[in-house]
Copies of this chain bind each other. A is one copy, B any other.
Amino acid sequence: MATWKAPLREYRFILHELLGVEDVSALPGYEEATPEIFDAVLEQAGTFCEEVLLPLNRSGDEEGCRFENGQVLTPKGFKEAYAQFREAGWIGLAASPEWGGQGLPKLLHFLVEEMISSTNHAFGMYPGLANGAYEAIRTHAGEALKQEFLPKLVSGEWLGTMNLTEPQCGTDLGLIRTRAEPQAGGSYAITGTKIFISAGEHDLTENIIHLVLAKLPDAPPGIRGISLFVVPKVLIDPATGAKTRNGVACGSIEHKMGIHGSATCVMNFDGAKGWLVGEAHKGMRAMFTMMNAARLGVGIQGLGHAETAYQSARTYAGERLQGRALSGAKYPDRPADPLLVHPDVRRMLLTIRAQAEGGRALACWIGKEIDISLKHPDPDRRAAADDLVQLMTPIVKSYLTDTGFESAVLAQQVLGGHGYIREWGIEQIVRDCRITQIYEGTNGIQALDLVGRKLGTGMGRLLRRFFHPVSAYLTEAAKQPELAEFALPAAKTLGRLQQVTALLAQKGLADPEEAGAAASDYLRLFAHAALAYLWTRMAALALAGLDGEDGAFYRAKLATARFYMTRLLPQATAHALAIQAGAKPIMEMEEAAF
């Protein structure tokens, strides 16, 4: 089985040393979230994940969900685990106290989500989707709908879903065919078929609150004619409390590569009773608010997989005896040396580690900015934080899921044949993590969001929220001789990023396909610029801690920083060169020739 312990020392480093979590505790409304509370909550969540979720991870994968007579049965143990999860209060962790939540910072929620994904991604889908439904209703619905649904979503008595995709449309939601007909009394009759609906049907809660995109009869065509509705599985008569089944049912569940414990449903709406959330035809706007939050959450899932991949592969590499160190036997008294002595095994482990630690720093930086954007008393500071969050959301989503998958594949490679069989649990990480690069907008769509939407916003205002502070920090850091080995390549990467950004701005104006052709490489280059900056900051902290009592921790941090700078960052050069080659090599192939 996969190996995992909560990486609490890493969390403390990020929170207390890198980010200064006391800034978050100082925000109005977060008074109770003291730095000590951060540590205590993370420790408790870690124990829960290790003791309750991890033991169900492989069995949930093996058993999967079953579909019987219109019902979905989750794998053995999921129901009990969910009851414990609710009981322990993990559902409403970051939800507003107004609706019964604990109102803790998003930054803290990020790390709890990481641990859930590390130990049982499939299980985490159920509360994760409900969180999306909560946000949609809280942000966009009227008071009556809020009163009806939010308390039960926050307490976990009910779960929720997001119904977007249809057979003929995934990315292109303008093609939606599901219809909503106005009914007497202000409700709507929803009819249509939705696919790929995570948690669409299950046995964890009595009621499931579906958020559904559909078109009103007078809807303008395309993406501007979509409205958002809330459609409960069970209707409750407000007067009598009588329960009736709504006209929505699961038609089947998908057989898929991974996250077998998560039910992926075909949902048939047959005149189901629903209510409009927000304004008519403005459903996409409501959806986008929520999707941005969901995208960060998906990035965190990739990070969670990278962490488990690392811990599992490291454990194996330390125990498995095979071959001898190239420089001569390190453990001559044993039949062979552990895999850890081999440079190529170390290369793989360090790659995973650098990606997980760097990715976590990036996600948490943005997590802190979310809290600032929500709670800071200064509206300018809030706006600045929101800009940065918007800019970095597609990068966090894509980079953390791409490297999460790469990390899982590398960990599998460390285990060799044992990584390919089910027994060790590593191949499951590969299969489970793979979906994170696809859902909530494929990583290609994230890249288009970055170059097509985020770069141009406010004449480059979002970009400046990144370039200015990063550039200022690196300029100062480069003056410190002991930091130069980090700050100089980081500054060089930033320079390259600025250079290709200017190139894109110029070429993209004349030909939008130039931006599209560059998008994926640009996103990855941007991620490297952010990571090189963060690794420089982490290296500075490590250098300062080398002589303390936790010296071993900082020596390892410094070694990982050096590995990143010298062995991974060179990829930024390749991305820049690919971007500079332009769109022609991609667009010149005739369609029929593919």
Contacts and interface: CB of A to CB of B under 8 A. Distances in A.
Interface of A: 165, 168-172, 174-175, 195-196, 254-258, 264, 314, 317-318, 321-323, 325-327, 335-336, 338, 340-350, 353, 405, 409, 412-413, 416-417, 419-423, 427, 430-431, 434-435, 437-439, 442-444, 447-448, 452, 511-513, 515-517, 519-520, 552, 555-556, 559-560, 562-563, 565-568, 570-571, 573-575, 577-578, 581, 583-594
Given A344-B448, A413-B438, A567-B581, A430 B323 contact: no
A443 B592 contact: no
A344 B175 contact: no
Contacts of A338: 591
Contact of A412 (B346, B434, B567): B434
A552 B592 contact: yes
A421 B165 CA distance: 14
A594 B344 contact: no
A589 B350 contact: yes
Identify the interface centre among A174, A258, A338, A593: most chain B CB within 10 Å of its CB: A593
B519 A343 contact: yes
B555 A343 contact: no
29 contacts: A169-B322, A170-B322, A170-B417, A172-B321, A255-B422, A257-B420, A326-B512, A326-B516, A327-B513, A343-B586, A343-B587, A344-B520, A346-B589, A347-B586, A348-B444, A349-B594, A350-B589, A413-B443, A417-B438, A420-B438, A431-B431, A552-B590, A559-B589, A566-B578, A567-B578, A567-B585, A570-B573, A570-B578, A574-B574
Contacts of A168: 321, 335
A581 B565 CA distance: 9
Contacts of A314: 594
A60 to B, nearest CB: 15
Question: Which of A348, A420, A427 neighbours the largest number of chain B CB atoms within 10 Å of its CB?
Answer: A420
A336 B567 CA distance: 43
Contact of A594 (B318, B335, B437): B318
Given A322-B172, A434-B412, A438-B420, A343 B583 contact: yes
A591 B340 contact: yes
Contact of A570 (B345, B419, B574): B574
A563 to B, nearest CB: 5
Contacts of A175: 321-322, 335-336
Contacts of A444: 342, 344-345, 348, 413
Nearest to A335: B175
B555 A581 contact: no
A562 B586 CA distance: 9
A413 B431 contact: no
A349 B520 CA distance: 14
A574 B559 CA distance: 20
A592 B338 CA distance: 12
Given A172-B336, A343-B583, A417 B578 contact: no
Given A562-B584, A562-B585, 20 more contacts: A170-B322, A171-B322, A175-B322, A195-B417, A254-B423, A255-B423, A326-B512, A343-B519, A343-B587, A344-B444, A350-B586, A419-B438, A555-B590, A555-B593, A556-B589, A559-B589, A566-B578, A567-B585, A573-B573, A574-B574
Contacts of A340: 591, 594
A6 B408 CA distance: 33
Given A438-B416, A585-B563, A513 B343 contact: yes
B171 A416 contact: yes
Contact of A196 (B417, B434, B442, B517): B417
B256 A422 contact: yes
A295 B347 CA distance: 23
Contacts of A448: 344
Given A419-B438, A434-B430, A513-B326, A346 B586 contact: yes
Contacts of A592: 552
Nearest to A417: B196
Q: 8 nearest interchain CB pairs? A: A570-B577, A566-B581, A343-B516, A556-B593, A326-B512, A257-B427, A343-B517, A344-B444
A435 B413 CA distance: 10
Contact of A512 (B327, B347, B566, B583): B327
Contacts of A581: 566-567, 570
